[in-house]
A and B are shown apart, each in its own frame.
Chain A
């Protein structure tokens, strides 16, 4: 099922990171197995004697995927804005995964810096994918400054703990129906991705859960299946939960219905 996000048409709802793989070859195999059409990349200082960036960029370019540059490691709106501008020049895309970190222990987004940077970058023509917490008011304010895509965390980056606050994520889905929501960060299992999709999210972005698996390509395939399963579950409409059991087989015509068994007889 094709869908549109940030001005591009995609088939996959799984966005994949390019970090932490044991080798470039394993990364490429995992990306291919994931079916992802969007891959995240970052920017770091480059010394003249090195060309690691060039080699990596050649590999990523050869995948032919859409590039989502991040601003990982930025601790202020100013740093994030400058990094986004540099990414736009290098990668020739107006997409940016906007990260402004407020706490190094949790890698928790700084909501104030994030909001400031998002507003400025939208004014400069960027398509901002803000990595944010699941706080409803923050998300509403990001929408107010022009964000049409939000990427709340499931759990802190790299923890693999899954959706720590499904209530908050459900609330975002209910209160921001016109906004595209992707869970970004904290997913560890395909079932976590499936759960996010079952909540009505538009996609998921993950890296560590695939890259750190013993078999990254196989895990990438598992996540792809889970995202599809969750998507179709949400599209299909789930049954209401009940407190008491309710038989699925018909009662009428049941064999031995109301027939006394031997235990009731004296």
Chain B
């Protein structure tokens, strides 16, 4: 179990399985756990943009800050 921050809110994530390491969880897994069903979002981890194609090989660690953003009105 690790503690990360999703859009500034603390979230606990269970680790293990997908990456073969019991202490790790991938961004793909985290997105699934958080039930983001829409595809029109983008993600940054610790202020670094992570392309969709890299979610599966992005490993989240304790204390990571994950931003998930989506389109909104703007001027």
Contacts and interface: CB of A to CB of B under 8 A. Distances in A.
A140 to B, nearest CB: 26
Interface stretch (B20-28, B37-45, B56-64): B37-45
Contact of A87 (B38, B42, B48): B42
B75 A18 contact: yes
Contacts of A18: 73-75
A207 B74 CA distance: 8
B73 A79 contact: no
A43 B44 CA distance: 12
B74 A19 contact: yes
A56 B42 contact: no
A54 B73 contact: no
Contacts, number: 107
Nearest to A86: B42
A43 to B, nearest CB: 4
A82 interface: yes
B41 to A, nearest CB: 5
A86 B71 contact: no
Given A40-B74, A45-B67, A51 B38 contact: yes
A252 to B, nearest CB: 56
B18 interface: no
B67 A54 contact: no
B12 to A, nearest CB: 15
A60 B72 CA distance: 10
A45 B69 contact: yes
Contacts of B48: 82
B47 A82 contact: yes
A12 interface: no
Nearest to A24: B73
A91 B71 contact: yes
Interface string A29-44: 0000000000011111
A164 interface: no
Closest 6 CB pairs of A and B: A42-B74, A53-B70, A17-B75, A207-B75, A86-B42, A46-B70
26 contacts: A19-B74, A20-B73, A20-B75, A21-B73, A42-B73, A45-B7, A46-B70, A48-B36, A53-B41, A53-B71, A56-B73, A57-B70, A69-B74, A70-B75, A72-B74, A78-B47, A83-B69, A85-B42, A85-B49, A86-B43, A86-B44, A87-B42, A90-B40, A90-B41, A90-B42, A90-B69
